[in-house]
Structures are given as C-alpha cells and as structure tokens.
Amino acid sequence: MKVIAINGSARRDGNTAILIETVFTELRRQGIDVEMIQLGGRSMNGCKACYGCFRNKNGRCVIEEDLFNECIVKMKAADGIILASPVYVADVTSEMKALIDRACLVSRVNGNFLRRKVGAAVSVARRGGAVSALDSMNHFFGITEMITVGSCYWNFVLGREIGEVRKDEEGMNTIKILGENMAWLIQKVMA
C-alpha cells in the first residue's frame, strides 16, 4: 500500500511539509509506504483548456515540460493521496490549483482512474482561510469519486514561520489523528 502526498507550498520543507510528515509517521506505523512531491521551486502550469487529454486518453496531460505528469502517474499508482497546501489569500496556492484542474480532467477522460482511492486534504494558515483551502481540495476528491478522510477537527494547523505549527498543539493532534484514520481506512478499502 502506498500514499503519495503533493505539497503545494511554494516554500520547500516548510510548515506544509511538517504536516505531511506528521501524517506519514502514522501511515508508516501501519506499514504503508509514503512519498512526498514538493511543488515548490518546480514548474506547475495551469490547464490550457486545449482538451488534448480528451483526444489522447493516455493518462497524461499534453503539457510535458513541467512536474504534472510525474505527479499524475504517481497519483494513479497510489492507494491514497494527500493534497496539502498552505493558505494563500484564503485559498490553495496557484500551484495546487493548477494540479487540481489538470488532474481532474486527465483522471476523468481516462475512466476516472482516481475513483475509490482514499484522499486526505491538509492545510496550514497564519490565521484565516484554511477551511476554504480544504474545501477546494475536497471538491477535487469529490468529483473524482475518491473517499475522503476526516479527523476530530478540520485538517488545518496555524503557523507562519517554518516550524511555528508545532506550537499549535490542537492542530498537530488533529493531523496526527488524520494520519491514524487514513491508515485505518486504506487498510479497510484495500482489504
């Protein structure tokens, strides 16, 4: 069993990465393989609306010169997907939105290949907008027929500087429980 996490932050190894690692700790505990792809510092373009993926139906986007196809190939192979984004102006980052738009179309025109995978959304904010960011990522899980995981609160933590999230004890516990629930659900779904 494998979970792939897409880190939508423009800042590599920041708070979003810390939260993903917190989920990973719980997944590893249950013997689930994990991998994180960080979009920060790499190129992730928006959908061009060329509908080339509708014509090609090869499980890929026609834009080959950025990170997208590496992501979608690994998302297709995984049993679970974590989408994680810091809040930028009360929503996900533009890199995460670009991935969501293109992954939605590519999956859809290739037999909805993300169907029934387990999905978890994670967000981090200095102060506000985290629920909106979670909504954006959960919309993706919904339309791709994925099964979403919850926790004991909405899946976000507060913090601005790198590492500040660790001071938000309630938030960190929410993410830990999310990891436990994701591991539990994947084992049930894949049994």
Ligand X SMILES: Cc1cc2nc3c(=O)[nH]c(=O)nc-3n(C[C@H](O)[C@H](O)[C@H](O)COP(=O)(O)O)c2cc1C
Residues contributing to the site for ligand X (CB under 6 A): 9, 11, 14-16, 86-90, 124-129, 159-160, 162
Q: Which is nearer to ligand X, 65 or 161 (CB)?
A: 161
Contacts of residue 35, Cβ cutoff 8 Å, sequence gap at least 6: 2, 3, 4, 5, 74
DSSP string, 118-182: EEEEEEEESSS-HHHHHHHHHHHHHHTT-EE---SS-SEEE-SSTTGGGG-HHHHHHHHHHHHHH
- Closest CB 183 distance from ligand X, rounded Å: 23
- Closest CB 34 distance from ligand X, rounded Å: 18
Q: Which is nearer to ligand X, 23 or 61 (CB)?
A: 23
Q: Which is nearer to ligand X, 79 or 168 (CB)?
A: 168
- Closest CB 167 distance from ligand X, rounded Å: 12
- Closest CB 60 distance from ligand X, rounded Å: 28
Element (H, E) at 24: helix 15-29
- Closest CB 44 distance from ligand X, rounded Å: 15
- Closest CB 10 distance from ligand X, rounded Å: 6
**Residue 26 half-sphere exposure toward CB, CA atoms < 13 A:** 20
Q: Which residue is closest to ligand X by CB? A: 14
Q: Which is nearer to ligand X, 19 or 100 (CB)?
A: 19
Q: Which is nearer to ligand X, 44 or 125 (CB)?
A: 125
Cα 190 to Cα 66: distance, rounded to the nearest angstrom: 32
Q: Residue 2 pairs with which residues in a beta bridge?
A: 33
- Residue 18 in contact with residue 171, Cβ under 8 Å? no
What amino acid is encoded at 98 in this protein?
A
Q: How far is CA 158 from the centre of its chain?
A: 18
Q: Which is nearer to ligand X, 90 or 190 (CB)?
A: 90
